[in-house]
Amino acid sequence: MEPILRAHRLRKHYGTGTGLVRAVDDVDLDVAPGEALGVVGPSGCGKSTLLHLLGMLDRPDGGQIWLGGERVDRLSETAAARLRRRAVGFVFQAFHLVDELTARENVELPALLAGASPRAARRRAAALLDRVGLADRAAHLPAQLSGGQRQRVAVARALVNDPGLLLADEPTGNLDTAATGEVLRLFDELRAEGRTLVIVTHDSRIAAAADRLITMRDGVFVDQTVLGRTGHGTGLGAISGLV
């Protein structure tokens, strides 16, 4: 099966000389369609940098990235933004909701930017807010929502354009235990649907929503564990730096 996401010798370094930081250091990675992949490791190990590279939010210093069979690391900023809007959904630790917009308007926004009609965007937003259990909070501003509720709005927003790939960066980092459980249950539902997920976190509980778990340290992958459904996580490509 052709990977939906592939990285080959991916590299991102910062600084020079004795101050050189190898945030991502010649990483190879294949992610199969429908796979839920968790990348764990301590703060500063390169997880978020890796995710930003895979999602075309940052450019690598070296290596190659393919999304859906298309090489994307050489795309122009405009082309990358267009592809992100259509094919990739993002969930961030800090939610990144627009404070002045209601929950429904936050979810609608990416659909409108992608060219959906206001009616279609509203219908899709309403369905997704109902899906994440927040239909009764659609008219609330982010400041009127709890952390867990804001993160569920962020998940709904990430799904509004029906992307083939969902990338989550420390999605439970700002949540208490109860809210973390809510978000992890939602990710597990998406996993069961066959959505492709890449979730980076320092929280080992993310394993509950993953088929495969990779441990990252100092810019490289050092271990992986197959956790979930038969057919995912094995034979999906080389992982550089495993020891």
Q: How many domains does the chain have?
A: 1
SS (H, E, C) 87-152: HEEEEECCCCCCCCCCHHHHHHHHHHHCCCCHHHHHHHHHHHHHHCCCHHHCCCCHHHCCHHHHHH
- Euclidean distance between CA atoms 226 and 186, whole angstroms: 21
Q: Which two tokens stand for residue 61?
A: 């210093």
- Domain membership of residue 186 as a residue range: 5-92+162-226
pLDDT at 18: 85
pLDDT above 70 covers a percentage of the chain that reads 93
Average per-residue pLDDT in the chain? 90
DSSP state of 218: T
Q: Is 236 a member of any domain?
A: no
Flag whether pLDDT at 63 surpasses 50.
yes
Report CA 135 to chain centroid distance, whole Å: 24
- Euclidean distance between CA atoms 236 and 224, whole angstroms: 12
Half-sphere exposure for 76 (CA within 13 Å, toward CB): 3
Closest of 185, 180, 93 to residue 132, by C-alpha = 185
The CATH number assigned to the domain holding 32 equals: 3.40.50.300
CA distances to 90, 110, 143, 197 from 163, rounded to whole Å, are 10, 11, 27, 11
- Euclidean distance between CA atoms 183 and 48, whole angstroms: 19
Q: Are 43 and 12 in contact (CB under 8 A)?
A: no
Flag whether pLDDT at 241 surpasses 70.
no
Q: Is 232 a member of any domain?
A: no
Instruction: Tell me the pLDDT tens digit for each residue of 23-52.
Output: 999 999 999 999 999 999 988 999 999 999
User: What average pLDDT does this structure show over 87-114?
Assistant: 96
- More confident site: 242 or 78: 78
Flag whether pLDDT at 232 surpasses 60.
no
pLDDT at 109: 96
User: What average pLDDT does this structure show over 152-175?
Assistant: 94
pLDDT at 208: 66
Flag whether pLDDT at 198 surpasses 60.
yes
Q: Is 32 a member of any domain?
A: yes
Flag whether pLDDT at 240 surpasses 70.
no
Helix, strand, coil percent content, the chain, rounded in steps of 5 = 35, 25, 35
Q: Is 221 a member of any domain?
A: yes
- Euclidean distance between CA atoms 191 and 135, whole angstroms: 22
Q: Identify which of 114-128, 193-207, 219-233 has the greatest average pLDDT.
A: 114-128
Report CA 13 to chain centroid distance, whole Å: 21
User: What average pLDDT does this structure show over 97-120?
Assistant: 96
In angstroms, the first-to-last Cα distance of the chain is 26
